[in-house]
Protein backbone atom coordinates (compact mmCIF):
# COMPACT_ATOMS: atom_id res chain seq x y z
CA UNK A 1 0.00 0.00 0.00
CA UNK A 2 1.33 3.42 -0.93
CA UNK A 3 2.52 5.49 2.04
CA UNK A 4 3.77 9.02 2.61
CA UNK A 5 6.91 8.14 4.55
CA UNK A 6 8.30 11.61 5.22
CA UNK A 7 7.63 15.19 4.21
CA UNK A 8 9.36 18.53 4.27
CA UNK A 9 7.36 21.75 4.11
CA UNK A 10 9.09 25.02 3.29
CA UNK A 11 7.17 28.28 3.58
CA UNK A 12 8.83 31.69 3.21
CA UNK A 13 9.24 33.65 6.44
CA UNK A 14 8.24 36.77 4.56
CA UNK A 15 4.46 37.25 4.82
CA UNK A 16 2.70 40.09 3.05
CA UNK A 17 -0.39 41.54 4.69
CA UNK A 18 -3.19 41.40 2.13
CA UNK A 19 -4.99 44.43 3.55
CA UNK A 20 -1.89 46.66 3.58
CA UNK A 21 0.61 45.23 1.05
CA UNK A 22 -1.91 44.88 -1.76
CA UNK A 23 0.15 46.87 -4.26
CA UNK A 24 3.11 44.53 -3.83
CA UNK A 25 0.73 41.62 -4.42
CA UNK A 26 -0.42 43.24 -7.67
CA UNK A 27 -4.00 43.94 -6.57
CA UNK A 28 -5.97 47.09 -5.73
CA UNK A 29 -7.37 48.15 -2.35
CA UNK A 30 -10.94 47.15 -3.18
CA UNK A 31 -9.87 43.62 -4.14
CA UNK A 32 -7.77 43.33 -0.98
CA UNK A 33 -10.80 44.22 1.15
CA UNK A 34 -12.97 41.59 -0.56
CA UNK A 35 -10.39 38.83 -0.16
CA UNK A 36 -9.39 39.70 3.40
CA UNK A 37 -12.77 40.57 4.94
CA UNK A 38 -15.15 38.39 2.96
CA UNK A 39 -13.04 35.40 1.91
CA UNK A 40 -10.88 35.04 5.02
CA UNK A 41 -7.38 35.67 3.61
CA UNK A 42 -4.98 37.69 5.77
CA UNK A 43 -1.35 36.84 4.99
CA UNK A 44 0.49 35.62 1.92
CA UNK A 45 3.94 33.93 2.02
CA UNK A 46 6.26 35.34 -0.64
CA UNK A 47 9.89 34.38 -1.28
CA UNK A 48 12.49 37.11 -0.93
CA UNK A 49 13.76 38.95 -3.99
CA UNK A 50 17.17 37.26 -3.77
CA UNK A 51 15.68 33.76 -4.09
CA UNK A 52 14.87 31.92 -7.31
CA UNK A 53 11.96 29.53 -7.73
CA UNK A 54 14.18 26.66 -8.88
CA UNK A 55 16.62 26.80 -5.96
CA UNK A 56 13.79 27.36 -3.48
CA UNK A 57 11.89 24.27 -4.64
CA UNK A 58 14.95 22.06 -5.04
CA UNK A 59 16.20 22.91 -1.54
CA UNK A 60 13.05 21.48 0.02
CA UNK A 61 13.62 18.12 -1.71
CA UNK A 62 17.38 18.01 -1.07
CA UNK A 63 16.88 18.82 2.62
CA UNK A 64 14.31 16.02 2.95
CA UNK A 65 16.59 13.43 1.34
CA UNK A 66 19.48 14.43 3.61
CA UNK A 67 17.34 14.49 6.75
CA UNK A 68 15.93 11.03 6.10
CA UNK A 69 19.34 9.64 5.04
CA UNK A 70 17.84 8.11 1.93
CA UNK A 71 19.89 5.77 -0.22
CA UNK A 72 19.78 7.78 -3.44
CA UNK A 73 19.71 4.69 -5.62
CA UNK A 74 16.42 3.64 -3.99
CA UNK A 75 14.73 6.66 -5.56
CA UNK A 76 13.03 5.43 -8.73
CA UNK A 77 10.91 8.48 -9.56
CA UNK A 78 11.20 12.23 -9.09
CA UNK A 79 7.98 14.06 -9.93
CA UNK A 80 7.26 17.77 -9.79
CA UNK A 81 3.48 18.21 -9.56
CA UNK A 82 2.76 21.87 -10.26
CA UNK A 83 -0.01 24.24 -11.34
CA UNK A 84 1.71 26.96 -13.34
CA UNK A 85 3.71 26.42 -16.49
CA UNK A 86 7.42 25.73 -16.09
CA UNK A 87 9.42 27.33 -18.88
CA UNK A 88 13.07 26.50 -19.42
CA UNK A 89 15.72 24.93 -21.61
CA UNK A 90 14.83 21.50 -23.01
CA UNK A 91 16.55 18.77 -21.00
CA UNK A 92 17.01 20.99 -17.96
CA UNK A 93 13.61 20.87 -16.29
CA UNK A 94 13.39 21.24 -12.52
CA UNK A 95 12.91 17.49 -11.82
CA UNK A 96 15.76 16.63 -14.20
CA UNK A 97 18.03 19.18 -12.51
CA UNK A 98 17.06 17.77 -9.12
CA UNK A 99 17.85 14.24 -10.30
CA UNK A 100 21.31 15.36 -11.39
CA UNK A 101 21.95 17.22 -8.14
CA UNK A 102 21.02 14.16 -6.08
CA UNK A 103 22.90 11.76 -8.33
CA UNK A 104 19.84 9.55 -8.65
CA UNK A 105 20.99 7.36 -11.54
CA UNK A 106 18.26 4.70 -11.23
CA UNK A 107 15.53 7.28 -11.54
CA UNK A 108 12.96 8.61 -14.00
CA UNK A 109 12.13 12.30 -13.51
CA UNK A 110 9.28 14.32 -14.96
CA UNK A 111 6.76 17.05 -14.19
CA UNK A 112 2.99 17.06 -14.36
CA UNK A 113 0.51 19.95 -14.33
CA UNK A 114 -2.41 18.81 -16.46
CA UNK A 115 -4.71 18.68 -13.44
CA UNK A 116 -3.39 21.89 -11.87
CA UNK A 117 -3.97 21.84 -8.08
CA UNK A 118 -5.22 18.24 -8.31
CA UNK A 119 -1.81 17.13 -9.61
CA UNK A 120 -0.94 15.77 -6.13
CA UNK A 121 -3.84 13.30 -6.33
CA UNK A 122 -2.95 12.41 -9.92
CA UNK A 123 0.67 11.79 -8.93
CA UNK A 124 -0.32 9.53 -6.05
CA UNK A 125 -2.47 7.54 -8.46
CA UNK A 126 0.47 7.15 -10.85
CA UNK A 127 2.91 6.19 -8.12
CA UNK A 128 0.75 3.51 -6.54
CA UNK A 129 1.00 1.73 -9.90
CA UNK A 130 4.53 2.63 -10.94
CA UNK A 131 6.26 1.64 -7.69
CA UNK A 132 4.87 -1.88 -8.05
CA UNK A 133 7.24 -2.32 -10.98
CA UNK A 134 10.29 -2.05 -8.69
CA UNK A 135 11.83 -4.04 -5.80
CA UNK A 136 10.74 -3.60 -2.21
CA UNK A 137 12.25 -0.50 -0.65
CA UNK A 138 11.97 1.57 -3.82
CA UNK A 139 10.92 5.18 -3.29
CA UNK A 140 9.59 8.17 -5.12
CA UNK A 141 10.33 11.82 -4.42
CA UNK A 142 7.32 14.05 -5.05
CA UNK A 143 7.79 17.81 -5.17
CA UNK A 144 4.84 20.20 -4.86
CA UNK A 145 4.45 23.94 -4.94
CA UNK A 146 5.70 26.90 -6.87
CA UNK A 147 6.22 30.64 -6.83
CA UNK A 148 3.30 32.82 -7.96
CA UNK A 149 5.36 35.16 -10.14
CA UNK A 150 2.54 36.69 -12.19
CA UNK A 151 -0.71 38.45 -11.28
CA UNK A 152 -2.64 35.58 -12.88
CA UNK A 153 -0.88 33.15 -10.54
CA UNK A 154 -1.12 35.33 -7.43
CA UNK A 155 -4.81 36.19 -7.66
CA UNK A 156 -7.51 33.69 -8.64
CA UNK A 157 -11.25 33.72 -8.10
CA UNK A 158 -10.91 31.27 -5.22
CA UNK A 159 -8.15 33.05 -3.32
CA UNK A 160 -4.79 34.76 -2.92
CA UNK A 161 -1.94 32.38 -3.77
CA UNK A 162 1.19 32.00 -1.67
CA UNK A 163 4.64 30.63 -2.48
CA UNK A 164 5.48 27.17 -1.12
CA UNK A 165 7.72 24.15 -1.57
CA UNK A 166 6.75 20.72 -0.26
CA UNK A 167 8.67 17.48 -0.74
CA UNK A 168 7.37 13.98 0.07
CA UNK A 169 9.12 10.62 0.17
CA UNK A 170 6.76 7.88 -0.98
CA UNK A 171 7.00 4.09 -0.95
CA UNK A 172 4.84 0.97 -0.79
CA UNK A 173 6.39 -0.13 2.50
CA UNK A 174 5.36 2.41 5.15
CA UNK A 175 3.09 1.58 8.07
CA UNK A 176 1.54 5.04 8.51
CA UNK A 177 0.11 7.80 6.32
CA UNK A 178 -1.19 5.11 3.98
CA UNK A 179 -3.25 5.86 0.89
CA UNK A 180 -6.48 3.87 1.11
CA UNK A 181 -8.20 5.29 -1.94
CA UNK A 182 -8.52 8.26 -4.26
CA UNK A 183 -10.48 9.69 -7.16
CA UNK A 184 -10.20 12.46 -9.74
CA UNK A 185 -13.01 13.81 -11.88
CA UNK A 186 -12.90 16.28 -14.76
CA UNK A 187 -15.84 18.49 -15.69
CA UNK A 188 -14.72 19.24 -19.24
CA UNK A 189 -17.09 22.12 -19.90
CA UNK A 190 -14.77 24.35 -17.84
CA UNK A 191 -11.67 23.65 -19.94
CA UNK A 192 -11.04 27.36 -20.54
CA UNK A 193 -10.00 27.77 -16.91
CA UNK A 194 -9.31 31.38 -15.88
CA UNK A 195 -10.42 32.49 -19.36
CA UNK A 196 -13.85 30.90 -19.03
CA UNK A 197 -17.06 32.66 -20.03
CA UNK A 198 -19.36 34.29 -17.52
CA UNK A 199 -22.05 31.70 -18.30
CA UNK A 200 -19.68 28.82 -17.53
CA UNK A 201 -18.47 30.52 -14.34
CA UNK A 202 -22.05 30.83 -13.13
CA UNK A 203 -22.68 27.14 -13.83
CA UNK A 204 -19.43 26.19 -12.07
CA UNK A 205 -20.40 28.10 -8.94
CA UNK A 206 -23.92 26.67 -9.04
CA UNK A 207 -22.79 23.04 -9.18
CA UNK A 208 -19.46 23.33 -7.33
CA UNK A 209 -20.64 21.66 -4.15
CA UNK A 210 -22.17 18.79 -6.15
CA UNK A 211 -18.89 18.27 -8.00
CA UNK A 212 -17.04 18.05 -4.71
CA UNK A 213 -19.56 15.63 -3.28
CA UNK A 214 -19.26 13.35 -6.31
CA UNK A 215 -15.48 13.06 -6.18
CA UNK A 216 -15.51 12.64 -2.39
CA UNK A 217 -17.99 9.76 -2.70
CA UNK A 218 -15.80 8.15 -5.37
CA UNK A 219 -12.66 8.38 -3.21
CA UNK A 220 -14.48 6.93 -0.21
CA UNK A 221 -15.77 4.08 -2.36
CA UNK A 222 -12.24 3.40 -3.66
CA UNK A 223 -11.05 3.21 -0.06
CA UNK A 224 -13.96 1.03 1.04
CA UNK A 225 -15.03 3.43 3.79
CA UNK A 226 -17.80 5.95 4.42
CA UNK A 227 -17.79 9.62 5.37
CA UNK A 228 -18.69 8.62 8.92
CA UNK A 229 -15.29 6.89 9.15
CA UNK A 230 -13.43 10.13 8.41
CA UNK A 231 -12.04 12.07 11.37
CA UNK A 232 -10.84 15.20 9.58
CA UNK A 233 -10.78 16.86 6.16
CA UNK A 234 -7.61 18.51 4.85
CA UNK A 235 -8.86 20.90 2.14
CA UNK A 236 -7.18 23.18 -0.32
CA UNK A 237 -7.19 26.76 0.95
CA UNK A 238 -9.85 28.56 -1.04
CA UNK A 239 -12.66 30.95 -0.16
CA UNK A 240 -13.82 29.88 3.31
CA UNK A 241 -17.47 30.30 2.28
CA UNK A 242 -17.09 27.42 -0.19
CA UNK A 243 -16.16 25.04 2.62
CA UNK A 244 -19.10 26.19 4.71
CA UNK A 245 -21.41 25.16 1.88
CA UNK A 246 -19.62 21.84 1.41
CA UNK A 247 -19.83 21.07 5.14
CA UNK A 248 -23.59 21.65 5.07
CA UNK A 249 -24.09 19.62 1.90
CA UNK A 250 -22.09 16.51 2.84
CA UNK A 251 -22.98 16.89 5.79
CA UNK A 252 -19.72 17.08 7.77
CA UNK A 253 -18.85 19.14 10.87
CA UNK A 254 -17.28 22.42 9.77
CA UNK A 255 -14.98 22.34 12.78
CA UNK A 256 -13.53 19.09 11.43
CA UNK A 257 -12.46 20.78 8.17
CA UNK A 258 -9.03 22.28 8.75
CA UNK A 259 -9.41 25.93 7.75
CA UNK A 260 -6.88 27.48 10.11
CA UNK A 261 -4.29 28.06 7.38
CA UNK A 262 -6.50 30.08 5.06
CA UNK A 263 -5.79 33.38 6.86
CA UNK A 264 -2.15 32.47 7.52
CA UNK A 265 -0.77 31.30 4.17
CA UNK A 266 -3.53 31.68 1.60
CA UNK A 267 -3.81 29.16 -1.22
CA UNK A 268 -0.44 27.44 -1.82
CA UNK A 269 -1.51 25.49 -4.89
CA UNK A 270 -0.79 21.73 -4.65
CA UNK A 271 0.97 22.12 -1.31
CA UNK A 272 -2.25 22.99 0.53
CA UNK A 273 -3.34 19.41 1.15
CA UNK A 274 -0.02 18.25 2.57
CA UNK A 275 0.50 21.39 4.68
CA UNK A 276 -2.97 21.02 6.18
CA UNK A 277 -2.64 17.27 6.68
CA UNK A 278 0.72 17.80 8.39
CA UNK A 279 -0.76 20.47 10.67
CA UNK A 280 -3.74 18.28 11.56
CA UNK A 281 -1.31 15.64 12.80
CA UNK A 282 1.08 18.08 14.46
CA UNK A 283 -1.76 19.71 16.40
CA UNK A 284 -2.92 16.28 17.64
CA UNK A 285 -6.32 16.62 16.02
CA UNK A 286 -6.17 12.97 14.96
CA UNK A 287 -4.64 9.83 16.44
CA UNK A 288 -2.92 6.85 14.87
CA UNK A 289 -5.33 4.86 12.73
CA UNK A 290 -7.69 7.78 12.07
CA UNK A 291 -8.73 8.57 8.52
CA UNK A 292 -8.23 11.95 6.87
CA UNK A 293 -9.85 13.04 3.64
CA UNK A 294 -7.82 15.28 1.33
CA UNK A 295 -10.04 17.33 -0.99
CA UNK A 296 -9.07 19.75 -3.75
CA UNK A 297 -10.04 21.30 -7.08
CA UNK A 298 -8.01 22.59 -9.99
CA UNK A 299 -8.52 25.24 -12.64
CA UNK A 300 -10.30 23.76 -15.65
CA UNK A 301 -12.98 21.81 -13.79
CA UNK A 302 -10.79 19.13 -12.17
CA UNK A 303 -11.66 17.72 -8.76
CA UNK A 304 -9.78 15.27 -6.56
CA UNK A 305 -9.94 13.52 -3.21
CA UNK A 306 -7.86 10.95 -1.34
CA UNK A 307 -8.29 8.98 1.88
CA UNK A 308 -5.21 8.73 4.09
CA UNK A 309 -4.88 6.49 7.16
CA UNK A 310 -2.66 8.14 9.76
- pLDDT tens-digit map of 26-74: 888 999 999 998 888 999 999 998 888 899 999 999 999 999 999 999 9
Query: What confidence category does residue 12 fall into, taking pLDDT thresholds of 50, 70 and 90?
Result: very high
* The predicted structure's pLDDT at residue 195: 67
- pLDDT tens-digit map of 130-180: 999 999 999 999 999 989 888 888 888 778 999 999 999 999 999 989 999
Q: Which domains does the chain have, with CATH numbers?
A: 3-171 (3.40.47.10), 178-309 (3.40.47.10)
- pLDDT tens-digit map of 251-301: 999 999 999 999 999 999 999 999 999 999 999 999 999 999 999 998 888
Of residues 241 and 285, the one with the higher pLDDT is 285
* The predicted structure's pLDDT at residue 239: 81
On average, the pLDDT of the chain sits at 92
Short-list 144, 188, 135, 133, CA closest to 169: 144
Amino acid sequence: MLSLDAMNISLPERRLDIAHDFEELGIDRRTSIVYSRMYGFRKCPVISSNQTERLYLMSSAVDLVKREQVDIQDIRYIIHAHTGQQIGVHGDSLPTALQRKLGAKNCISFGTQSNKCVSLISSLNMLRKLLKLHPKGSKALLLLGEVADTKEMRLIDAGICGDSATAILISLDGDSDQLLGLATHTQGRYFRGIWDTTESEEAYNKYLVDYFRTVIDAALADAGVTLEDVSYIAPHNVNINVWKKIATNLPFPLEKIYLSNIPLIGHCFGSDLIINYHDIKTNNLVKKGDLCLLVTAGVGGVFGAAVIKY
